[in-house]
Structure 1
Amino acid sequence: MTGRPLTFLVPEGIDDPSRVSGGNVYDRRVRDGLGSRGWRVTTVEARDAGRAAAVLREAPGGTTVLVDGLVALWAPEAIAEVAARARTVILAHMVAAAFPDATAPTVDAERRALTAADHVVVTSRWTVDELRRRGLAEPGRVTVASPGVDVPAAEPSSETREEPPRLDLLCVGVVAPHKGQDVLLAALDRLRGRGWTCRIVGSSRPFGAFASSVSRDAQRFSGRVLLTGVLDGPELAKEYRRSALLVAPSRVESSGMAIAEARGHGVPVLAAEVGGIPDTVAGGGAVLVPPDDPVALAAALDAWMMDPALRRRLRAEARAARAGLPTWAGTVAAVAGALEAS
């Protein structure tokens, strides 16, 4: 087998259908794309800090190591050790210090890992600015590799229809505090008199207590709110096609892969104005509201529901924006450039 050797250290279960997340999808696309570009990728999954440190310390000198940012947090000392003998690049999907509940040990581990690495790959321009602001990495040591979007082939019936006939809302992402599904339910509680339905798509496993709370609250809506669990591939594409609006009420977000996917399907977006989301929706087809504000979110939803002209305009803008969406080929090329830089 020929090609430049690369060790790609990722969290356990990135290919597990029950653990679908934006980070896992991104890691898979990068892994597969680098292989097609001539890299000999050895992907190693780590379930804990011990495994992560062992893999890093076994990496031979003169090679290249790519480490998912979550795993890097587990073993900052090992990151420093491997960086002394092999080019070490961290793929930072998010800035852990930006989370309101980030602990001091986590923030310190992130600082040590990022400052020890040769280079950092991030998913948005906002993340570059956040790393610089926090003194974690200067822009010259950071590469932006925005998540790509698979734009589906247009379906004539959906393209000629002005908008879906129902006010079906969609929220996609792991059910977690930083994704803000509780904010969405609080907003919908103010709109019980409107004719909407809402599907919340995403894994409930990583943040079980929060997900259970969201599930209990959803039951108060008498079937109008459905938590579907994880959906992927054709099932998720079907949800985008049937939905009139994607709602992304995140408290923290580096870029928002679900937002980009919705735009690939020509679905307009109502999202929190936080993190990298404004860059992700550049080009139109979106409304932004303050984060963690159910009153503002409810007002924006109500305006959208009550104004057919607004719905048509946003949907037309979202469809037009598809031509400028990033591709996964571009994502992989950017990551490859970071790996190859001297």
Structure 2
Amino acid sequence: MSRILYFAYPGDLEIRTGGYGYDRRILHALGKRGWKVEALPLGENFPQPDEHALAHATRMLETVPDEAFLLIDGLAYGVMPEVAQVLSARLKLVALIHHPLAREGHLEPLVKERLERSETEALKHAHAVVVTSPATKRQLAAEFGVDESRIAIALPGTDPGIQASGSPDGVPHILAIGTIIRRKGHDVLVEALAENADLEWTCRIIGNRSVDAAFTQELEDRIGRLGLSGRISLTGQVDDTRGELPAADIFALATYYEGYGMVFAEAMAHGLPIVATRAGAIPDVVPQEAGILVEPGNAAAFGQALRRLLQDRELRTGLAAGSRRHGATLPGWDETAATIEKVLETIT
């Protein structure tokens, strides 16, 4: 069996998002397992490519030799059903789905419907589908008609972390990590923090500011109107978020949806108590012993959960210990790569 894998991805693989982080780490881990990985950049404008972008991506994919293994990131795969049909006839085609494109959130109804149709059709042509959580497997089976026998779960790996020691000045420091887009719910977090303005805390929101510059500006304006500019900082993208976790006291992310949520796993590896939402795969990732989960979009409930942790040091300490215990049980990246390797080996 050939040990060459072609991996096709849209956009910039170096962008600091969970999905691209997963891609980078599995490519490295597969290389360590003896695979030669050939990266195929498909270009920009996904998951809503124009005619030119789609033509460019198609030309890149046509360069893959017959009978080769081809793994395509779902950010592109789901909008290329016709291309997938052609590729599946001559390649060992695998789709990597971080979460369904139509579940991105805050999509126009017509866009959501189009993405659902496109991805449903594209998934019919994959010889196998790799997902990053049990929740996404359930979703693809129930909502997109994918036979569960064709779906493999390759949980993201998590690097070991040191126990967070918290803010050195004793003022609870709340950390949020996630690209500044509407789906991440940073506006909900800001409103929740405003409801706790009477308490001591600081908050740092780390994430790429340029993906949705208009929303970033809207968020900054909201922070200013609420009089919280001195307490909440929008830091922007950092190369290694693990360096930010040890100095935090609470990890909080009010996201509307996650296909897994690697930042939660990283937070637990460092023993941080978590406030998050019951959205997508998060209940699978964050157990009750590690944090408090509320309904997405509910700033009042999110604020109440934060208040409990800010005011109750014993609760915060207990959840931190539970978080640390669970974080120690999470798989490493070699296990993730081994799962994907097994998928490739079973394709005939």
TM-score normalized by the length of structure 1: 0.92
> In the alignment, what sits opposite 1:10?
9
CA distance in 1, matches of 2:24, 2:182: 25
> In the alignment, what sits opposite 1:44?
40
Query: What does 1:25-36 align with in structure 2 at a 5 Å threshold?
Result: 25-36=21-32
Task: Provide closer, same or farther for how the CA distance between residues 30 and 288 of structure 1 changes in structure 2, counting only shifts above 3 A.
Answer: same
Matched, 1:232 2:228: no
SS at match of 1:7: strand
Q: Are 1:8 and 1:43, in contact at CA under 8 Å, matched by a contact in 2?
A: yes
Task: Provide closer, same or farther for how the CA distance between residues 199 and 138 of structure 1 changes in structure 2, counting only shifts above 3 A.
Answer: same
State the Cα deviation string for residues 275-295 of structure 1 (Å, max 9, x = none).
100111137211111111001
Task: Say how many residue pairs are matched.
Answer: 332
CA distance in 1, matches of 2:41, 2:260: 24
> In the alignment, what sits opposite 2:229?
222
Matched, 1:135 2:132: no
> In the alignment, what sits opposite 1:281?
286
Query: What does 1:75-224 align with in structure 2 at a 5 Å threshold?
Result: 75-100=80-105, 101=107, 102-153=111-162, 158=165, 165-219=170-224, 220-224=227-231
Deviation at 1:117, TM superposition (A): 0.9
CA distance in 1, matches of 2:188, 2:27: 34
Q: Are 1:88 and 1:119, in contact at CA under 8 Å, matched by a contact in 2?
A: yes
Query: What does 1:307-318 align with in structure 2 at a 5 Å threshold?
Result: 307-318=312-323
Deviation at 1:113, TM superposition (A): 1.4
Residue identity in the other structure for 1:139: E
Deviation at 1:49, TM superposition (A): 2.1
Q: Are 2:85 and 2:125, in contact at CA under 8 Å, matched by a contact in 1?
A: yes
Using the aligned pairs only, state the percent identity.
33
Q: Are 2:278 and 2:294, in contact at CA under 8 Å, matched by a contact in 1?
A: yes
> In the alignment, what sits opposite 1:301?
306
Residue identity in the other structure for 1:62: E
SS at match of 1:191: coil
Deviation at 1:222, TM superposition (A): 3.0
State the Cα deviation string for residues 261-310 of structure 1 (Å, max 9, x = none).
11111111111011100111137211111111001001111111111111
SS at match of 1:221: coil
Residue identity in the other structure for 1:107: E
Deviation at 1:57, TM superposition (A): 2.5
Deviation at 1:177, TM superposition (A): 1.0
Residue identity in the other structure for 1:40: K
Residue identity in the other structure for 1:13: D
> In the alignment, what sits opposite 2:47?
none
CA distance in 1, matches of 2:278, 2:162: 30
State the Cα deviation string for residues 167-198 of structure 1 (Å, max 9, x = none).
11011011111110011011111111110111
CA distance in 1, matches of 2:150, 2:78: 18
Unaligned stretches of 5+ residues in structure 2: 44-52
Q: Are 2:163 and 2:324, in contact at CA under 8 Å, matched by a contact in 1?
A: no
Deviation at 1:163, TM superposition (A): 10
Task: Provide closer, same or farther for how the CA distance between residues 227 and 21 of structure 1 changes in structure 2, counting only shifts above 3 A.
Answer: same
> In the alignment, what sits opposite 1:337?
342
CA RMSD in angstroms, aligned pairs only:
2.0
Unaligned stretches of 5+ residues in structure 1: none
Q: 1:62 pairs with 58, 67, 70, which one?
A: 67
SS at match of 2:29: helix
State the Cα deviation string for residues 6-27 of structure 1 (Å, max 9, x = none).
1100123112xxx210011100
State the Cα deviation string for residues 110-161 of structure 1 (Å, max 9, x = none).
1121111111100100001111111331211000011111013568xx4xx8
Q: Are 2:167 and 2:247, in contact at CA under 8 Å, matched by a contact in 1?
A: no
CA distance in 1, matches of 2:234, 2:340: 34
Task: Provide closer, same or farther for how the CA distance between residues 131 and 296 of structure 1 changes in structure 2, counting only shifts above 3 A.
Answer: same
State the Cα deviation string for residues 227-248 of structure 1 (Å, max 9, x = none).
0000122xx2232011111112
CA distance in 2, matches of 1:261, 1:281: 11
CA distance in 2, matches of 1:292, 1:163: 32
CA distance in 2, matches of 1:237, 1:69: 26
Residue identity in the other structure for 2:129: V
Residue identity in the other structure for 2:333: W
CA distance in 2, matches of 1:201, 1:153: 20
SS at match of 2:328: helix
